[in-house]
């Protein structure tokens, strides 16, 4: 990993941790975790290499590329995490759809959950769509 990529990963991890914690606190989130903090940190590394060039270093989106926080929640809240995992798995990254391993996609989804206020827990998010059908994307508080 280059020094620039390492800096981007560190910055993204801090932004995701801060954003997720702030959202959870502001929404009164106390739900059980769906992923581990370590898994979301691994997702930050995958994101920096494969996603940040389109979605931005802080998940803010660029031009027609949507942000991955804020209004993002309205598209996925209340749905099985399997839906988000399946989408990421088949359609991302845009320059090489479907090229990431299932574990990498699970790490990315963990990062997305964290960045949108879903608290971390003790168990890793599985990389199995059948298991993910039983987990709902429930950000704390109302969808944005």
DSSP 101: -
3-state helix, strand, coil in the chain (%, to 5): 55, 5, 45
Q: Which domains does the chain have, with CATH numbers?
A: 3-132 (1.10.760)
Kindly report, residue by residue over 26-78, the tens digit of the pLDDT. 333 334 578 999 999 999 999 999 999 999 999 999 999 999 999 999 999 99
Handedness of CA 117, 123, 129, 131 (dihedral sign): negative
Structure tokens at 43: 């997702």
Quote the pTM value. 0.78
Kindly report, residue by residue over 112-136, the tens digit of the pLDDT. 999 999 999 999 999 999 999 999 9
């Amino acid at each position: 990993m280059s020094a620039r990529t390492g800096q981007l990963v560190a910055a993204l991890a801090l932004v995701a941790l801060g954003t997720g914690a702030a959202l959870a606190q502001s929404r009164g989130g106390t739900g059980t975790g769906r992923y581990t903090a370590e898994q979301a940190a691994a997702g930050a590394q995958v994101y920096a290499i494969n996603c940040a060039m389109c979605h931005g270093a802080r998940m803010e989106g660029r031009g027609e590329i949507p942000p991955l926080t804020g209004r993002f929640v309205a598209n996925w809240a209340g749905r099985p995490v399997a839906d988000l995992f399946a989408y990421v798995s088949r359609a991302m990254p845009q320059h090489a759809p479907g090229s990431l391993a299932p574990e990498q996609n699970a790490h990315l989804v963990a990062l997305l959950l964290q960045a949108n206020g879903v608290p971390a827990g003790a168990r890793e998010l599985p990389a199995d769509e059948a298991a993910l059908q039983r987990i709902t994307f429930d950000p704390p508080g109302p969808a944005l």
